[in-house]
Amino acid sequence: MIIAMEAWQYAALQSSFQHHHEKLFLLTLLDPKESAKYRGYAAFNIQAPYGGSPSVFEEYFDCVSI
């Protein structure tokens, strides 16, 4: 199983591994109820806090924690 966090990653993986498309997944689409809450970019991509300040990481963590 290969899980991409963003649509461009998913497309690149599909292109590179054409014979293994059944093993590729876009993380945001694994839970249709959750992804239905979002529109546009956020519906298909997980914006990582990479490169952000500690407060950005904390805010991100609060949003994605269960």
Mean per-residue pLDDT pooled into runs of 10, the chain (66 residues) = 88 93 88 72 72 80 60
What gap in Å lies between CA 40 and CA 37, rounded to an integer? 11
List the domain range (segments joined by +) for residue 28.
2-64
For position 11, what pLDDT does the model report? 93
What gap in Å lies between CA 49 and CA 56, rounded to an integer? 6
Overall size of the chain counted in residues: 66
pTM of the model: 0.62
What gap in Å lies between CA 47 and CA 28, rounded to an integer? 11
Helices (H) and strands (E) in the chain, counts: 4, 2
For position 52, what pLDDT does the model report? 80
Total number of domains in the chain: 1
For position 63, what pLDDT does the model report? 65
